[in-house]
Chain A
Amino acid sequence: EVQLVESGGNLVQPGGSLRLSCAASGFTFSSSRMNWVRQAPGKGLEWVSYISGGSSTKYYADSVKGRFTISRDNAKNSLYLQMNSLRAEDTAIYYCTTEASWGQGTLVTVSS
């Protein structure tokens, strides 16, 4: 069974940093393309970032480019999202996703 478990969400002040993690199991993580998708409170879904299985290709939404960095550790079956210079508009539930599965999400709140 595919499992994706996000962690690292928290309350952080504007301008602060946070690192999200996603622990994956039940599938061949090293060959799987992975994405982060977020959902602001009461809003729709917004794609954030993509990383290929071998980390050679990465993409970012314009809204986070230059502030967020996606990475992975295939030896640990883990996906990461380093978030810097956080803004109030980054407040959302962040989901780790494969092409068919989603984690339960982790809440990031940016507020003073």
Chain B
Amino acid sequence: DIQMTQSPSSLSASVGDRVTITCRASQGISNYLAWFQQKPGKAPKSLIYDASSLQSGVPSKFSGSGSGTDFTLTISSLQPEDFATYYCQQYNSYPLTFGQGTKLEIK
């Protein structure tokens, strides 16, 4: 199974900041990586697929990059609604696997 490791596990930032979350795969997954946002009590929401493609309706403040084993999610100009937990997921092969999540909190 492919293991996905996110860092950091938690992150404190202020409104207006730019933050980057990292996701590392235990083996190469090409660009078969997605990012999800989850707010408390809600279902996850898809933000990015194929490592860098934005889902329809997702603001351009979210961006993804990477290929192979190392990936990043960058969120610019943080707003109160962006504080949530973020997960990466590989879909290169089954079983699909998720990172452990990064909780983004307001400083």
Interface residues of chain A, those whose CB is within 8 Å of chain B, are: 35, 37, 44-47, 50, 59, 61-62, 95, 99-105
Partner of B96, one of A44, A47, A62, A100: A47
B36 cross-chain contacts in A, Cβ below 8 A = 45
Interface residues of chain B, those whose CB is within 8 Å of chain A, are: 36, 43-46, 49, 55, 87, 89, 91, 94-101
B100 cross-chain contacts in A, Cβ below 8 A = 44
Q: A44-B100, A95-B43 are in contact. List 13 more A-B contacts (CB 8 A).
A: A44-B98, A45-B36, A45-B98, A46-B98, A47-B94, A50-B96, A61-B95, A99-B49, A100-B55, A101-B46, A102-B43, A102-B44, A102-B46
Given contacts A44-B101, A99-B49, A100-B49, contact A105 B96 (CB under 8 A): no
Q: Is the CB of B89 within 8 A of A45?
A: yes
A47 cross-chain contacts in B, Cβ below 8 A = 94-98
Please, how many angstroms separate the alpha-carbon atoms of A46 and B101 in the complex?
11
A46 cross-chain contacts in B, Cβ below 8 A = 98
Please, how many angstroms separate the alpha-carbon atoms of A103 and B97 in the complex?
19
* B87 CB, nearest partner CB in chain A, Å: 6
Closest B residue to A99 using CB positions? B49
Q: Is the CB of B95 within 8 A of A95?
A: no
A62 cross-chain contacts in B, Cβ below 8 A = 95
Partner of A105, one of B43, B95, B97: B43
Q: Is the CB of A45 within 8 A of B44?
A: yes
Q: Which of B87, B95, B97 has the most CB of A within 10 A?
A: B95
